[in-house]
Every structure is written in C-alpha cells, then in structure tokens.
Structure 1
Amino acid sequence: MEVKLWNDKREREMLDSFADLYAIIKTTEKLEKAYVRDLVSSAEYEAECLKLIAQFKTLSFSLRDAVPSIDRFADAYKMDCPAALNRLLVSGVPATVEHRASSASTAASSAAAVAECVQHFITAMDSLKLNMVAVDQVHPLLSDLSSSLAKLGGGILPPDFEGRVKVREWLARLAKMGAADELTEQQARQLHFDLESSYNAFMAALPNAGS
C-alpha cells in the first residue's frame, strides 16, 4: 500500500524544503571534516562553504515560520552535525576567513573592515535601545558583527578578543531559541552591556594595530 507523505502541493514543497535544509547541513558537516583532514584545498573549501552558507541563509529565512529553530530541527531528525551548526549558525563565514592571516590584507581593506565593525557594533546597540529584542531581529545583527570581526584576522585584534567570544556565545544562545522568541529585559540589558564593553575594548585595541 502506497503511503502518501503530503496532502497537497504546498505540503510537498514544504517537505522538499526540509530535505534541502537537511542536505545543506549534512554537506556542510562533510565539508568541514574534509577541510580539517586536508582533503580539500583552502580555495575549494572557501568557495563551496560560501555557497552553502548563502543557500542556508536563504532557505532558513524562507522556512523561519515552519522551522523557528535550526537546533531543534537538527535534534528532531537526529543530525549529529556540530561543525556544520557552528559554521552556519554561529560563525557565518568559512574557517579560512576566520583564520586568514592579516598579512593578506592591505591597509585599505583593514581600515574598511574596522569601519564595518564599528558600524555593526553601533547598529546592534542602537537596535536594542529601540527594543528590537526578537530573535529574528537580533540574530542577523550579531551574525553580521561576528562576520566583520572575523575579517580582521589576528593582525589587529588578539585571537582571544573578548568581543569575538561574547558575540559567538550570544549567537549560540539565540540559535537555541525560536525566531519569534524575545529576549527578556535582563537578557537585553546584559547583551547591550556585553556589546558596549566589547566595543570599548575594540576601540582600545585599534592603536596597537600594525600600519
């Protein structure tokens, strides 16, 4: 007897999207392991990883109502993909971008990256002041900030820069919540405090950057 998994076209498209999301996460996990084991070149890894991240962002946004939490989706389908979830949800950029040596950057691109970080810090703090505390409002802002901090490499900021650590911790925390969930007043105040202290530390570190 044939078992029907859907009742109409809309349900079928939803299941297809779930399958695509599952495949993206699994593929990212395999790519991360291949990169760590030196089975793929840095250039090939970065190109493929950027494509997967872009596909993930597009698909997860379109599924934000049906799949409010990617972590819960992964748990529901018993996906053991910690590296993929870290890359897609927390980092948001390829490992090559995170760890790229600062010597690969020109002074101009470094200055642009610094300006970008400042912009993302201020935007995130201002948004909290405007009471934009829903997860689907806060997460993109912190993801952009995390990406811009990663672009600086280790030339300007120390590897253990507190801002990077705190932003990643908040992204990991938000990833466990639903898109429509909101930060409590205490959480919002703590996040603003963490961003402000990280911003001050970031500005203090700039004079130590090499020219």
Structure 2
Amino acid sequence: MYAQQQAYAPSPYGYTPSSSLTATINLDEEVTLADSAAERDLHESLAELYSIILTLDALEKAYQRDAIPEAEYSDICARLLRQYKSNLADATVAHAFGDLDAFKREWQLEVPKATERLRIGLPSTTTTATPSRHRPVSAHATGPAATHLVAASENFITLFDAIRMHMLSKDTLHPILVEIIQAVNKVTDRDFDNKGKIVQWLITLNQMRAAEDLSAEQARELQFDLNAAYDGFKGTLD
C-alpha cells in the first residue's frame, strides 16, 4: 500500500513549509521608498549626485578624446560642478553623502576622471593652458588686453591682502584663487613658472569645509607660493 502523497516537493534538508508563512504584502499596493517628503528629497538629491558624477566622468573622457568642443565642455563642466556643490550645500545631504570616496565605495563607482575634476573644482580648460588660444599680453598692452592684465594683478594683490589680514577661511580664499586662475588665463596661455603651485592650493582649499581656516603655517606657505607664481606670471609679460 502506497504512503499518503505529500502536498509539496520533498526537500533534501527536511524543511516542511508552514501555512503561517503566507505573504503579508499586497502586490497591488505601490511600494513607498520614503516615509516623508524630507526623506524623498534626500533620496532625490543623492540620486542627482550619483548622476552628476557619472555624467562628469563621461564628459571628461569625451573632452580628452576631442569629441566635444572646448567651449561646450567648459560650459557643461562648470554647470555640473555648480550642481554638485549646490546639492552638498545642504547639511542633511552632505551628512548622508559622506565624502566622495565613501560614496564611490558604497555605490561601486569607478570614475577616476570625475574624481580628479571634483578634486580640483574647476574645468580643465581653466587650470590647464590651451596652446595657441592667444598670444601673451604685453606689459604695455592697451584696451581689453590691458583690462585683463589689470584684473589679474588686482586678484593677486587681493589674495595677498587677505592673507596679511588673516582672512584664511576657505570661503574667503577659494573664490579669489579661482578668479586669479581665470584672470591669468585671459592674459596668457603659457604655463608660467609656479602656476602649478596655485592650482595645488586651489585643490587644497576645494577639499576643505567652507568655514575651515588655513593654519598659520599653511598661510605662510601659500603667501610664499603666491609670490613665486606672481613673479612667474609677470615673467610672461616681457
């Protein structure tokens, strides 16, 4: 006589299904990913940061392959960097984001080009000389060329004054240093002596918190490097 047939397939582990383990989820009900509007906004901001990082990496690769015009690259890159900073200006988003390296590890992102661009905080066209864009401006230039020269010199002097007055926070020094780099690029396309040093200081400041200050030792080093870069810049005008 045959044994009573089991109502389920036999398990090699001897597991017996229980009728108490029935599904309690309504499959027709929409699954909510956030419990509040604030949580939904946070998720949207983090998703936007994820998208910005991927887009920026693709943009950098396209620019290096000459697949995008310089002007278009500069405009898009600057806009992505602004959007990245704007999202992280929110304290809640910044806390959830952590830092870039932690965010990349969490979401398994391999984006070396975007990482470098975010580390510098400016488009490549701003920090790197573009050959043959224009001739260096003479110290005796007039008209628009003289205006660019004066602006560059004034920006250097403004930064010197800020350091001497012990105004050493990132939110004071970083914008001035950005203006210096942008101004000197309008004067000359040559990578003058010690320009790399002010780019490195730009990176250092870009990685600091907005209200964080340079130490007294860093301020002295910045002033020394700035003097050397200013001399190098003036040397291109001869």
After TM superposition, the score normalised by the length of structure 1 is 0.74
Gaps of 5+ in 1: none
Taking structure 1 as reference, are residues 149 and 19 closer, same or farther at Cα in structure 2, changes over 3 Å only? farther
* Structure 1 contact 89–175 (Cα < 8 Å) conserved: yes
CA distance in 2, matches of 1:47, 1:67: 25
Query: Hey, which of these two has a bigger chunk of helix by percent?
Result: 1
Offset, 1:67: 3.1
Q: 1:192 corresponds to which residue? A: 223
CA distance in 1, matches of 2:214, 2:92: 18
Q: 2:63 corresponds to which residue? A: 35
Offset, 1:127: 1.2
- Once the two structures are superposed, the pairs formed by residues 170-185 of structure 1 within 5 Å of their partners are 170-185=201-216
CA distance in 2, matches of 1:204, 1:39: 34
Larger radius of gyration between Structure 1 and Structure 2:
2
CA distance in 1, matches of 2:85, 2:31: 32
Number of aligned positions between the proteins: 200
Offset, 1:12: 3.2
Offset, 1:166: 0.9
Taking structure 1 as reference, are residues 185 and 104 closer, same or farther at Cα in structure 2, changes over 3 Å only? closer
After TM superposition, the score normalised by the length of structure 2 is 0.67
Offset, 1:102: 3.7
Q: CA deviation digits over 1:148-193, x for unaligned, max 9? A: 2233342xxx32431x211111122223333332211111111112
Offset, 1:24: 2.0
CA distance in 2, matches of 1:59, 1:104: 39
User: Residue 67 in 1 paired to residue 94 in 2?
Assistant: yes
CA distance in 1, matches of 2:121, 2:147: 20
Offset, 1:49: 2.6
Q: 2:46 corresponds to which residue? A: 18
Q: 2:15 corresponds to which residue? A: none
Q: 2:157 corresponds to which residue? A: 122
CA distance in 2, matches of 1:100, 1:3: 55
Q: CA deviation digits over 1:111-136, x for unaligned, max 9? A: 22222211211111111122111223
Higher RCO structure, 1 or 2 (CA under 8 Å, sep 6+)? 1
Q: Give the aligned residue type for 1:182.
A: D
Offset, 1:198: 1.9
CA distance in 1, matches of 2:160, 2:151: 14
Gaps of 5+ in 2: 1-24
Find 1:134's aligned residue among 169, 172, 176.
Answer: 169
Q: 1:49 corresponds to which residue? A: 77
Taking structure 1 as reference, are residues 51 and 202 closer, same or farther at Cα in structure 2, changes over 3 Å only? same
Find 2:122's aligned residue among 83, 92, 100.
Answer: 92
Taking structure 1 as reference, are residues 7 and 186 closer, same or farther at Cα in structure 2, changes over 3 Å only? farther
Q: The residue matched to 2:99 in structure 1 has which SS? A: helix
- RMSD between aligned alpha carbons? 3.3
Identity %: 32
Offset, 1:147: 2.1
